[in-house]
């Protein structure tokens, strides 16, 4: 039986390349594709894949938050993070969210099949460029320290913060997360109060610094 894979990345060219690569393997099969974190969650719940290849930086809901929610809903699903960056915040937060693999995009075509095989055997797979980040974080005991965003904000508030940083209006945010405009305004007020940041520029800088969005 083939390992069923969901590809979640907002870059269609990369998705097509990975899909073509996977098609060459008789033991792997792509069952769904998503271009945002919200879509990835919906399709994962529908298709229940064995593995989700999750881009860390995606619109509407980043890969970290999507992975947290996915693990809560489908704990048996394996998540392999995919990123252009080996930044400590991205790596550690994805692993803490429940990902069991982290592959850098520049090596994805060479490593993906091996990464899938590794996580399906119950092990963790890390690209060579990521291993040093994890080791240094462990040595310095940083992994047990939450960033301000993850210790102060709720899951919904972190998503709203990402959408704010991506330039969405209150009305657009309400549509994406399917709540009323009044509820969004309440979330925005809570975010400002918890973080002590009033300006849009300040919230955007905070979101980028904490890895909530990269605005790629």
Domains belonging to the chain, first-starting first, are: 3-139 (3.40.50.2300), 148-209 (1.10.10.10)
Residue 142 has pLDDT above 50, yes or no: no
Specify the higher pLDDT residue, 84 or 35: 35
Cα–Cα nearest to 31, from 7, 10, 14? 7
Structure confidence at residue 148 (pLDDT): 62
> 55-111 pLDDT, tens per residue?
998 888 999 999 999 999 999 999 999 988 777 778 888 988 999 999 998 888 889
Structure tokens at 210: 């904490």
The Cα-based distances of 211 to 45, 89, 148, 196, 205 in angstroms read 25, 6, 11, 18, 10
| Cβ count within 10 A of residue 21 | 16
pLDDT value at residue 89: 79
Q: What is the pLDDT of residue 129?
A: 81
Range in 29-33, 133-137, 207-211 the model is least confident about: 133-137
Nearest 10 degrees: CA dihedral of 46, 47, 53, 58? -20
The answer on pLDDT for 143 being more than 60 is no
CA distances, 37 to each of 67, 120, 182, 201 (Å): 9, 22, 24, 23
Task: Classify the C-alpha dihedral 40-42-46-48 as positive or negative.
Answer: positive
Mean pLDDT across 16-38: 92
pLDDT in tens, 144-197: 555 666 678 888 998 999 999 989 999 999 999 999 999 999 999 999 999 889
Is this model's pTM higher than 0.85 or not? no
Give me Rg for the CA atoms of the chain: 17
């Amino acid at each position: 039986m083939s390992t069923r894979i969901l590809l979640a990345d907002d870059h269609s060219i990369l998705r097509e390349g990975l899909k073509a690569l996977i098609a060459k393997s008789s033991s792997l099969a792509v069952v769904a594709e998503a271009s945002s974190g919200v879509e990835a969650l919906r399709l994962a719940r529908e298709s229940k894949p064995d593995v989700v290849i999750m881009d860390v930086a995606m619109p509407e809901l980043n890969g970290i938050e999507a992975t947290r929610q996915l693990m809560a809903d489908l704990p048996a699903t394996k998540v392999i993070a995919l990123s252009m960056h080996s930044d400590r915040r991205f790596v550690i937060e994805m692993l803490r969210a429940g990902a069991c693999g982290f592959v850098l995009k520049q090596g994805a075509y060479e490593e993906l099949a091996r990464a899938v095989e590794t996580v399906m055997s119950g092990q963790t797979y890390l690209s060579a460029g990521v291993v040093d980040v994890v080791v240094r974080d462990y040595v310095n005991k940083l992994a047990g320290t939450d960033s301000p965003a993850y210790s102060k904000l709720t899951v919904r508030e972190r998503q709203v913060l990402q959408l704010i940083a991506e330039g969405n209006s209150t009305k657009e945010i309400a549509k994406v997360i399917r709540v009323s405009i009044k509820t969004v305004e309440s979330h925005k007020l809570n975010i400002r109060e918890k973080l002590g940041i009033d300006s849009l520029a300040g919230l955007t800088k905070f979101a980028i610094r904490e890895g909530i969005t990269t605005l790629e």
